Amino acid sequence: MDVEAREQQHVPMWLVGHSISDPEVQVDGGLVDDELNAGYDMISGCITNSSFHKRVEDAIAQARSEQRTHIHIEPLIADEVNMHPGHYMISVIGFASSWIELESADPLIAHVSKQVLDLELAYAAFCGLNQVVIPGPRNREQTAEYAQAISAALSHSTYMQLLIQLPIHDWIGDESAPAESPLYEPYSAWDAWNTIRTVCKYSGQLAVALQIPQRLPNPMVVRRWFCEPIRMLLISNATFCPNNKGFPVFSKAHQNMLTKYMRLRPVPYVLLEQTEFPPLLRAAIKIKHEDDAYLIYLRHLQKNQPPQSTVERFGSGYQDYLQSPLQPLADNLESITYEVFEKDPVKYQQYQNAIELALRDRPVGKEIVVAVVGAGRGPLVTRALKAAELSGRTIKMVAVEKNPNAYVHLLQKNRDVWNGRVTIIKTDMRAWKPTFMVDIMISELLGSFADNELSPECLDGVQRVLNPEGGVMIPQSYTAHFSPIMAPKIYADIATRRSDPDAFETPYVVLFQAIDTLSEEDYIHNAWEFAHPVPAGVLGEAASMGGGFVGLGDGGNDHNLRSCKVTFKVPRRGVVHGLAGYFESVLYGKVELSTRPDTIDQKSCDMISWFPIFFPLKTPIYLPDHSEVEVSMWRRCSERKVWYEWTVEAYVRSGNKRFPLGGSELHSSKKNGCLM
């Protein structure tokens, strides 16, 4: 099936490889062709063989006899390698020797292991390999030593991705019931990875080759690895179980995990290991299929994946992709930007429901003035006209838009679609001075954090034309929400933007995917609220200082300042990379919008108009088990700009006392604030 056909049927693209674990097998063009013809997309093989291993062991033995702790390993020779340059190497993944111990407490072993890795990586690069899998640290207490060696390897492997091979979790004792062991630590493998990638400064060349066991850990561990840069899933025959006909299959838990992980971007490779059953086991369960049974089953799972949701289809390619928030007041948006928003039927249906409800709350027979302020290309105008028809109310329809290009489009639409039923006004809504009062004022000025695109400031400036006798605004209110998250992929992306000194003080719009929430029960805090219309006394005081107009006087916008301070309980260790921001809005009555992951399905399911917002931290903060995160956030403003400031502090409790673990500096988006 070609790529276009896959996309049309929403069949995910999985790349499944076959691991050649025998270190004596030569990886040549013939072997690669055979594996590709068998249905695999790639193979993996050992870079060096037992001849090289024996030479290194002999050198170590001689060094010990001479009581030396440092020796020099000579370069590789032809008889010691399993692969050579060729066009087929694009389909090959190399494995570094499994016997090296970069973190060994024995200085001789550590010194030799580092040389062996350097030799193998250099030869792999020469052969044209793009990726090499390196065995993870065996001694968890020496992980820092291991990480230092990997950091050094990255410095001279510029064009190669290094995959650290790690189990999804460690156990001590009975594998069948690891959670019952007092020594069982579900996050110890992740701890090792966190040390490695931190020492390596979140290098984009570094990723994880994750081993999937027969018995999966608790779902929190599976979720934690989901936020990490998994580039490969290693699955052996022991991971499968036979069905009642003897064919290898996954448990339901494994199927769910694979479905989740294979939706990551980029999609991880799946590497099948040890695809031959031992003869006794084969006889015991009466396997009827040959060695390709595992591959056949994976292809079956691939073709039968659940369909993508509306948000997944719309957001394809935008997962964890950082975008700067819009500046709708400072900039005139292009038609394509409006068009993207207009593809969301859910938002506009909710708006139509709210408008219809507001109209039905008014008497029949009286003309009702309805205005869309910030009309764009007119989707809300269309919905308002439809709501008037459904409610049986007579309306005077007005559209106000400052963008001169969108204004031309509105004129054309009024002529060709609305049959001249709409009064089109070209002006900034804050400077609009009609001769009539508006009964229902509609806007779609909300940003990813509710108020971050200046909805409060815009609506303050136009509220003076709202009928004081029962005039309503849609939306009636909106709230900003946030929660601390782990987002290593996003943090690594921001860290690469060295040319931008404000990269870590810019809030980004982003469709979250590879993240993990840290707060207890995934708690999301309601930071603050804005409600419209604002009490007349508040606006009167602001107006006396120049508030509510395009140019604000000093203090004229102080009523739109906000702040909050909240403590999140963190039950499981992790690293906070920033804050995930969302919003909820009451359009009218019980008609609502939400981007919060825990309420969106109830309030505005499949809405795609807004992605969440991310407030990054310059330096990630490690959080131990049963710790606390205290977040302080402010909405600040001046005469011409609105921005946010935030800081994060970590604490741990002992009895009734709370001890600080560390904290971030004060972050401020003032330089990149939203201009009025």
User: HSE (CB half, 13 Å, CA atoms) of 65?
Assistant: 6
- Residue 294, annotated as binding a ligand: no
Q: Rounded to whole angstroms, what are the CA distances from 318 to 207, 264, 507?
A: 20, 12, 16
Spatial contact of 206 and 154, defined as CB atoms under 8 Å apart: yes
- Residue 202, annotated as binding a ligand: no
Q: What count of other Cβ atoms lies within 10 Å of the Cβ of residue 129?
A: 23
List CB contacts of 65: < 8 A, sequence separation 6 or more: none
DSSP calls for 450-514: BSTT-HHHHHHHHGGGB-TTT-EEES-EEEEEEEEEE-HHHHHHHHT-TT-TTGGGS-EE-B--S
DSSP calls for 120-186: HHHHHHHHT-SEEEEE--S-GGGHHHHHHHHHHHHHT-TT-EEEEEEES----S-TTSGGGSTT--T
Q: Which residues are paired to 637 by β-bridges?
A: 642
- Considering the candidates 103, 453, 505, 628, report the single residue annotated as catalytic: 453
Class of residue 462 by CB neighbours under 10 A (exposed 0-12, middle 13-18, buried 19+): buried
> Could you tell me the end-to-end alpha-carbon distance of the chain, in angstroms, rounded to an integer?
52
- Residue 160, annotated as binding a ligand: no
Spatial contact of 624 and 610, defined as CB atoms under 8 Å apart: no
Which tokens in the block code for residue 19? 């691991």
Class of residue 409 by CB neighbours under 10 A (exposed 0-12, middle 13-18, buried 19+): middle
List CB contacts of 565: < 8 A, sequence separation 6 or more: 630, 631, 632, 633
Spatial contact of 305 and 491, defined as CB atoms under 8 Å apart: no
List CB contacts of 512: < 8 A, sequence separation 6 or more: 319, 320, 485, 487, 580, 611, 612, 614
The residue whose two tokens read 């290194």 is 56
Residue 212's identity, in one-letter code, is I
List CB contacts of 403: < 8 A, sequence separation 6 or more: 332, 333, 376
Q: Which residues are paired to 579 by β-bridges?
A: 484, 615
Distance from chain centroid for Cα 587: 28
* Cis amide linkage into residue 266, ω under 30° from 0: yes
- Residue 348, annotated as binding a ligand: yes
Spatial contact of 368 and 393, defined as CB atoms under 8 Å apart: yes
- Considering the candidates 101, 120, 273, 444, report the single residue annotated as catalytic: 444
Would residue 444 show up in a list of annotated catalytic residues for this protein?
yes
- Residue 545, annotated as binding a ligand: no
- Residue 170, annotated as binding a ligand: no
In this structure, the dihedral spanned by the alpha carbons of residues 495, 500, 502 and 506, taken in order and rounded to 10 degrees, is: -70
Q: In terms of Cα–Cα distance, which of 566, 357, 340 is closest to 442?
A: 357
Return the active site residues.
Answer: 444, 453
Binding site residue list = 338, 347-348, 401, 428-429
Binding site residue list for S-adenosyl-L-methionine = 338, 347-348, 401, 428-429
